[in-house]
Amino acid sequence: MQTGMTSAEYEEVVAKIAESVARGAGGLPENATSYGRKNLWRGASGFRHQIDVSIEVGDRIHLVECKYWNKRVPLEYVLSFYGRLQDIQPTTKKPVEGVIISQKGFQRGAKEIAAHFRIHLDVVESAEVFGYKFGQRIVVSPKPATCVTSAGGDVNAKIGGSPPSRCAPAVEAGTVDGQITRNGE
């Protein structure tokens, strides 16, 4: 993985890859992907949670936390993220799936807790690997897709790794009516 990237750049690259994979099926609304500091989701508690990357695909909402840390993600962070998901879920009309990605991995016990609470943990070593893993979660019918950002740049050059001949299977998701709003806001 390329070094010298900021956390914000890491989040942007992850968002562009996820969007590219999901767009392979068509029918993904323009505002279906959001990321960064302004990506806020109101929970049932009234608290506004900042989520690194969110993408609505078909009948699900994927909330992704990007940990571009020089250490493994601790178990306590997984538990904290689960609490955030539980607060957000009642305010959405679709099921929410949590994903935590890390460049360094996860501490002991994090995988077991994440599996119990159905949170996906991914170690992202390259754009190709993340695109494939994300595509596996949302795929209905495999089709080739490329990982090219909406700006036209190759995301593999930003994360590191060689450009894949197939980044990930594309999806055939159902259409989502209208514009995306962040839980009614």
Band of residue 81 on the pLDDT scale cut at 50, 70, 90: very high
183 located within any domain:
no
Considering only residues 162 and 89, tell me which one the structure prediction assigns the higher pLDDT. 89
Residue range 114-137: mean pLDDT, rounded: 82
The answer to whether residue 180 is domain-embedded is: no
CATH number at residue 88: 3.40.1350.10
Q: How far is CA 72 from the centre of its chain?
A: 18
In terms of average pLDDT, the best of 35-49, 50-64, 116-130, 149-163 is 35-49
100 pLDDT higher than 60: yes
Domain assignment present for 93: yes
Range of the domain at 139: 7-169
For residue 110, tell me if it sits in a domain: yes
| 178 found inside a domain | no
Evaluate whether residue 175 is within a structural domain: no
Higher pLDDT, 35 or 158: 35
DSSP per-residue codes, 119-152: -EEEE--SHHHHHHHHHHHH-SS--EE--B-TTS
Which comes out higher in pLDDT, residue 136 or 121?
121
Q: Is residue 177 part of a domain?
A: no
3-state class (DSSP) for residue 68: coil
Share of the chain above pLDDT 70, in %: 67
Residue 13 reports pLDDT greater than 50: yes
Residue pair 82/119 in contact (Cβ under 8 Å)? The answer is yes
Domains held by the chain: number: 1
Is pLDDT at 121 greater than 50 in this prediction?
Answer: yes
The pLDDT value given to residue 3: 55
Q: pLDDT tens digits for 24-58?
A: 756 566 678 889 999 999 999 999 999 999 988 88
The pLDDT of 137-164, averaged and rounded, is 39
pLDDT for the residue 174: 29
Q: Is residue 1 part of a domain?
A: no
Residue 19 pLDDT exceeds 70: yes
Residue 58 in contact with residue 46, Cβ under 8 Å? Answer: no
Nearest CA among 59, 66, 128 for reference residue 97: 59
Separation of alpha carbons 48 and 129, rounded Å: 31
| Whole-number Å distance between alpha carbons of 87 and 49 | 9
DSSP 11-57: HHHHHHHHHHHHHTTS---TTSEEESTT-EEE-TTS-EEE-SEEEEE
Average pLDDT (131-135) is 75
